[in-house]
A and B are shown apart, each in its own frame.
Chain A
Amino acid sequence: MSATAVKPDAPRGQRSVPDSVPAIVTAVALLALWEGAVKVLEIPAFILPTPSSVAIRIVDDLATGVILPHLWTTFIEVAVGFVLAALLGVALGTMVALVRALEKTIYPIVLALQTVPKVAIAPLLIIWFGYGIHSKAVTAGLIAFFPIMVNVIVGLKTVDHRRVLLMQALRAGPVKTYLKVRLPSMLPYLFAGLEVGIIFSVIGAIVGEFVGSSVGLGTLIIQRQATVDVAGVFSVLAYLSIMGLVLSLIIKAFAHRLTFWARSQEIVSP
Chain B
Amino acid sequence: MTATAGALAQVPVLAAGASAPAPVLIEFDRVAKVYKAADGRPVRAVDSVKGEIRAGEFVSILGPSGCGKSTLMMMLAGLLRPSEGEIRFKGKPVTGPQEGFGIVFQDAVLFPWRTVQDNVRLPGEVRGLPRDEQIERAQAMIRLVGLAGFESKFPHELSGGMQQRVAIARALSLGPSLLVMDEPFGALDAMTREQMNLELQRISLESGATVVFVTHSIAEAAFLSDRVFVMSGRPSTVRDIVTVDLPRPRAIQQMNTDRFGVYVARLRGLLDAEGGHS
Given A267-B156, A268-B160, decide whether A262 and B112 contact each other with a Cβ distance below 8 A. yes
Contact A171 B126 (CB under 8 A): yes
Shortest beta-carbon distance, B104 to chain A, in Å?
A: 10
Q: Which residues of B contact A267 (CB under 8 A)?
A: 156
Which of A163, A259, A268 lies in contact with B109, CB distance below 8 A?
A163
Q: Which residues of A contact B123 (CB under 8 A)?
A: 170
Q: Which of B14-22, B187-195, B230-238 contacts A (4 or more CB under 8 A)?
A: B187-195
Q: Which of B57-65, B95-103, B269-277 contacts A (4 or more CB under 8 A)?
A: B95-103
A256 at the interface (CB under 8 A from B): no
Given contacts A180-B126, A181-B111, could you give 13 more A-B pairs where the C-beta distance is less than 8 Å? A160-B109, A162-B105, A165-B105, A166-B103, A166-B105, A166-B109, A167-B126, A168-B79, A169-B101, A172-B126, A261-B154, A261-B155, A270-B161
Complex: how many Å from CA A261 to CA B192?
25
B29 at the interface (CB under 8 A from A): no
B107 at the interface (CB under 8 A from A): yes
A269 at the interface (CB under 8 A from B): yes
Measured CB to CB, the nearest residue on chain B to A163 is B109
Contact A170 B97 (CB under 8 A): yes
Contact A265 B155 (CB under 8 A): yes
B122 at the interface (CB under 8 A from A): yes
Which residues does B use to contact A, with CB under 8 Å? 77-79, 96-97, 99, 101, 103, 105, 107, 109, 111-113, 122-123, 125-127, 154-156, 159-161, 163, 187-189, 192
Complex: how many Å from CA A196 to CA B188?
40
Measured CB to CB, the nearest residue on chain A to B160 is A270
Measured CB to CB, the nearest residue on chain B to A263 is B156
Complex: how many Å from CA A187 to CA B96?
30
> B-side binding surface: helix, strand, loop or mixed?
loop
A176 at the interface (CB under 8 A from B): yes
Interface residues of A in 169-210 (CB under 8 A from B): 169-172, 176, 180-181, 184, 187
Complex: how many Å from CA A160 to CA B97?
19
26 A-B pairs (CB sep. < 8 Å): A162-B105, A162-B109, A165-B105, A166-B105, A169-B77, A169-B97, A169-B103, A170-B123, A170-B127, A171-B97, A172-B126, A180-B122, A180-B126, A181-B111, A184-B113, A259-B113, A261-B112, A261-B155, A262-B112, A264-B112, A265-B156, A267-B156, A268-B160, A269-B160, A270-B187, A270-B192
> A-side binding surface: helix, strand, loop or mixed?
helix
Q: Which residues of B contact A168 (CB under 8 A)?
A: 79, 97
Shortest beta-carbon distance, A170 to chain B, in Å?
A: 5
Shortest 5 CB-CB contacts between residues of A and residues of B: A270-B160, A261-B112, A265-B112, A264-B156, A172-B126
Contact A261 B113 (CB under 8 A): yes
Complex: how many Å from CA A180 to CA B123?
11
Measured CB to CB, the nearest residue on chain B to A171 is B97
Which residues does A use to contact B, with CB under 8 Å? 160, 162-163, 165-172, 176, 180-181, 184, 187, 259-262, 264-265, 267-270
Centre residue among B105, B126, B154, B163 by max chain A CB count within 10 A: B126
Complex: how many Å from CA A230 to CA B125?
62
Measured CB to CB, the nearest residue on chain A to B164 is A270
Shortest beta-carbon distance, B230 to chain A, in Å?
A: 26
Complex: how many Å from CA A181 to CA B79?
18
Shortest beta-carbon distance, A50 to chain B, in Å?
A: 51
Q: Which residues of B contact A180 (CB under 8 A)?
A: 111, 122, 125-126
Contact A163 B111 (CB under 8 A): yes
Centre residue among B96, B112, B154, B163 by max chain A CB count within 10 A: B112
Measured CB to CB, the nearest residue on chain B to A258 is B113
Which of A167, A171, A264 lies in contact with B99, CB distance below 8 A?
A171
Contact B112 A169 (CB under 8 A): no
Complex: how many Å from CA A187 to CA B79?
27
Q: Which residues of B contact A269 (CB under 8 A)?
A: 159-160
Q: Which residues of A contact B192 (CB under 8 A)?
A: 270
Shortest beta-carbon distance, B16 to chain A, in Å?
A: 28
Complex: how many Å from CA A184 to CA B79?
23
Complex: how many Å from CA A54 to CA B189?
64
Complex: how many Å from CA A169 to CA B126?
11
Centre residue among A163, A167, A170, A187 by max chain B CB count within 10 A: A170
Complex: how many Å from CA A262 to CA B156?
10
Complex: how many Å from CA A240 to CA B96?
57
Measured CB to CB, the nearest residue on chain A to B161 is A270
Which of A170, A181, A265, A270 lies in contact with B159, CB distance below 8 A?
A270
Contact A261 B156 (CB under 8 A): yes
Q: Which residues of B contact A165 (CB under 8 A)?
A: 79, 105, 109
Shortest beta-carbon distance, B182 to chain A, in Å?
A: 11
